[in-house]
Amino acid sequence: MSVLTNYSDLFLSAFLTTIQLFLLSAVGSLVLGTVLAMLRVSPVPVLRAAATTYVTLLRNTPLTLVFFFFAFAYPLLKILELDPFMGAVTALTLYTSAFICEVVRSGINTVPVGQAEASRALGLTFGQMLANVVLPQAMRSVVPPLVSTLIALLKNTTVAAGFSVGEAGAISYRLSEEGANMLAGLSWVAVFFVVLVIPLTLVQRGLEKRWSVAR
């Protein structure tokens, strides 16, 4: 407990940074992942191929390598300057969106083909069909894997500690520099992540029960 009280400012700052990093990356990856899933089932071959290439590349690339790109290679492009925090958000968003894309696409594939055919018969465009018919049904079946992906994202935020982002994973560096009790410090970091994961799990179970009753 003494480590927590002696370094309360460090823990609070790091935990808040982790939460911000997670929330921004989660929103970004959910939006981008859903768009990619729509492109992957698009009737336009070029869009479908582009989305497939992106997903295949990111899913098979180590997250650390994505971070290295934004830390060292991206600045050489001189497109838009990103500080370490926004670089971490971008890296996590691009990486996680590839996995969310596959989760959403698997949900889309569970919707009966007859639904799409009926939508086309009613004169709905491809976008209208996805937004109003397919996606609302697909999202019900992808809640468990979607929450699991977000939990993985939360854990992946610790990678940012190695790239000048002062989130929870960086606490160990500070404690090591000052000769503090590393075991106690890391134990509190583990407790913090457990506290964050529990609400996500409860939301997952709640939505599953709600939608199972609705069906």
Packing angle of the helix pair 84-110, 8-40 (nearest 10 deg) = 40
Q: What is the pLDDT of residue 144?
A: 82
Q: What is the pLDDT of residue 179?
A: 66
Domains of the chain plus CATH, in order, are 2-214 (1.10.3720.10)
Give percent above pLDDT 70 in the chain: 86
Q: What is the pLDDT of residue 78?
A: 81
User: What would the mean pLDDT of 174-202 be, rounded to a whole number?
Assistant: 78
Span of 66-70, 81-85, 161-165 with lowest mean pLDDT = 161-165
CA distances from 72 to 55, 101, 139 (A): 23, 27, 37
Q: What is the pLDDT of residue 195?
A: 87
Q: Read off the pLDDT of residues 36-78 as tens digits, 9 standing for 90 and up.
A: 998 998 888 999 999 999 999 999 999 999 998 988 888 888 8
Cα torsion 151, 154, 156, 160 to 10°: value is: 170
Q: Read off the pLDDT of residues 147-161 as tens digits, 9 standing for 90 and up.
A: 889 999 998 988 887
CA distances from 111 to 31, 70, 99, 114, 138 (A): 20, 38, 20, 8, 6
H or E segment to which residue 109 belongs: helix 84-110
User: What would the mean pLDDT of 191-205 be, rounded to a whole number?
Assistant: 85
Whether the pLDDT of residue 215 is over 80: the answer is no
